Amino acid sequence: MNTFEFKNLVKNLKNSLKEKSFFRNLRKEVNTGANGTQDYVLKKGINKDSIATTKQ
């Protein structure tokens, strides 16, 4: 392996480690059900404003 190939190998490894650290550190957690996506709220009928428990 000559010096040119070695430098490219080191450069690629450095870039991949940097990219992996970005993915690890910059991810944000998601709140489940934050915008009403967890449960379905009935809009009409007798049970208005209640949460539907079974899927039809």
27: tokens are 């991810």
**Domain span including residue 6:** 1-26
Is the separation of the CB atoms in 8 and 18 below 8 Å? no
Q: Of 44, 40, 43, 45, whose CA–CA distance to 56 is shortest?
A: 40
The pLDDT score that the predictor gives to residue 37 is: 61
C-alpha angle 13/23/35, rounded to 5°?
Answer: 165
Asked if residue 35 belongs to a domain, the reply is no
pLDDT tens by residue, 3-55 = 999 999 999 999 999 988 888 888 777 777 666 667 777 888 888 888 777 65
Indicate whether 13 belongs to any domain.
Answer: yes
Number of domains in the chain: 1
pLDDT reported for residue 35: 67
pLDDT of residue 12: 95
